[in-house]
């Protein structure tokens, strides 16, 4: 994830005042609409840790302090320390001290340097990855793995549909059938973009399905695969939870 500039309202003077208030009273000075809005925009309205969509099914955006506010009160509204998270991840992380025992910082690290996905389970590649998975409970069956499994099944289903639509188009190359192929491909690749919930899972599944490169080849031959589709493909590749082969 990329860190944008702090919201215009959060000037150094305002930040200083809020920090002083927090230190004196313990008030939740970070609960400000403009902070939440800016964080939501940056994270595409997703939890920065588990990728769930915020604002639905009681999953509201919480302002997470990467360095715990109780231990690092100076950073209570430091822009670089604030992260959009769901209640579950924010709660799981709790008072964990990332300065003593680092976990993946979604703004500073590329998750795939530390974590990969195998059959919807996350596996650590490094001690940092191991701690991230454990502290945030990213392999909890109920909340985390089921959601990943669902999105993976959906990608598989859309690939099947795309295959059918391509066959259909090959039988009779009408504009309508061609448009249906293109729309299906567009929907598929859009599931794997940063802004989509569980995009890392979706992209990982897509690029591991052996049928995908086959369909891509066919689409190139049929001249349906455009520069735009190639760009969407490349963006999705960047999210795959597996280090690219050297
Ligand atoms: Zn979360």
Write the pLDDT tens digit of every residue in 32-49. 999 999 999 999 999 999
For residue 133, is it within any domain? no
> How many other CB atoms are found less than 10 A from the CB of residue 62?
20
Local structure of 213: helix, strand or coil: helix
How close is the Cα of 243 to the center of ligand 1, in Å? Answer: 23
**Same domain membership, residue 152 and residue 103:** no
For residue 118, is it within any domain? no
**Same domain membership, residue 233 and residue 154:** yes
Give me the domain span that covers residue 59. Answer: 12-109
What's the pLDDT at 142?
87
What's the pLDDT at 59?
74
Buried b (16+ CB within 10 A) or exposed e, 45-57: bbbbbbbbbbeee
How close is the Cα of 92 to the center of ligand 1, in Å? Answer: 9
For residue 21, is it within any domain? yes
Select the more confidently predicted residue: 127 or 242.
Answer: 127
Phi, psi (rounded to 5 degrees) for 157? -65, -45
**Same domain membership, residue 93 and residue 53:** yes
Both tokens of 220, joined, read 């190139």
For residue 191, is it within any domain? yes
How close is the Cα of 52 to the center of ligand 1, in Å? Answer: 6
**Same domain membership, residue 147 and residue 70:** no
Distance, CA of 187 to CA of 181 (rounded, Å): 10
Phi, psi (rounded to 5 degrees) for 9? -70, -25
Query: Tens digits of per-residue pLDDT, 198-244?
Result: 999 999 999 999 999 999 999 999 999 999 999 999 999 999 998 87
With a pLDDT cut of 90, the percent of the chain lying above it is: 93
How close is the Cα of 246 to the center of ligand 1, in Å? Answer: 31
For residue 57, is it within any domain? yes
What's the pLDDT at 57?
66
124 and 130 Cβ atoms separated by less than 8 Å: yes
With a pLDDT cut of 70, the percent of the chain lying above it is: 99
How close is the Cα of 230 to the center of ligand 1, in Å? Answer: 30
How close is the Cα of 157 to the center of ligand 1, in Å? Answer: 25
Buried b (16+ CB within 10 A) or exposed e, 181-214: bbebbeebbebbbbebbbbbbbbbbbbeeeebee
Confidence band, pLDDT 50/70/90 cuts, at residue 196? very high
Helix H segments across the chain?
A: 12-25, 33-42, 87-93, 127-136, 146-171, 175-190, 199-208, 211-221, 227-237
Q: In the chain, helix, strand, coil percent, each to 5?
A: 50, 10, 40
For residue 182, is it within any domain? yes
How close is the Cα of 233 to the center of ligand 1, in Å? Answer: 26
What is the number of structural domains in the chain?
2
> How many other CB atoms are found less than 10 A from the CB of residue 152?
21
Return the ∠ at Cα 40 (arms to 194 and 67), rounded to 5°: 100
Select the more confidently predicted residue: 227 or 144.
Answer: 227
**Same domain membership, residue 145 and residue 77:** no
For residue 214, is it within any domain? yes
Cβ-based neighbours of 29, under 8 Å, separated by 6 or more: 18, 19, 21, 22, 76, 77
Q: Which long-range contacts (CB under 8 A, 24 or more apart) does 38-41 make?
A: 38/4, 38/6, 38/7, 39/63, 39/82, 39/83, 39/84, 40/84, 41/4
């Amino acid at each position: 994830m990329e860190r944008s500039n702090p919201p215009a309202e959060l000037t150094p003077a305002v930040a200083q005042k809020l920090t002083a208030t927090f230190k004196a009273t313990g008030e939740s000075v970070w609960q400000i609409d403009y902070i939440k809005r800016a964080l939501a925009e940056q994270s595409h309205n997703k939890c920065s840790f588990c990728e769930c969509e915020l604002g639905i099914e009681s999953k509201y955006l919480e302002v997470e302090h990467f360095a715990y506010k109780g231990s690092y009160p100076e950073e209570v509204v430091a822009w670089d320390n604030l992260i959009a998270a769901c209640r579950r991840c924010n709660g799981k992380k709790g008072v964990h001290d990332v300065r003593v025992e680092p976990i993946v910082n979604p703004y500073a690290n590329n998750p795939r340097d530390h974590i990969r996905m195998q059959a919807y389970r996350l596996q650590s590649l490094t001690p940092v990855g191991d701690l991230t998975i454990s502290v945030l409970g990213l392999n909890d069956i109920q909340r985390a793995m089921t959601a990943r499994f669902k999105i993976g099944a959906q990608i598989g289903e859309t690939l099947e549909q795309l295959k059918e639509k391509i066959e259909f188009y090959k039988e009779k190359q009408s504009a309508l059938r061609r448009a249906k192929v293109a729309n299906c491909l567009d929907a598929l690749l859009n599931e794997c973009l940063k802004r989509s919930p569980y995009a890392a899972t979706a992209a990982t599944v897509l690029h591991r399905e052996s049928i995908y490169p086959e369909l891509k080849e066919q689409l190139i031959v049929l001249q349906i695969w455009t520069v735009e589709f190639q760009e969407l493909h490349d963006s999705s590749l960047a999210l795959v939870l597996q280090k690219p082969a050297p």
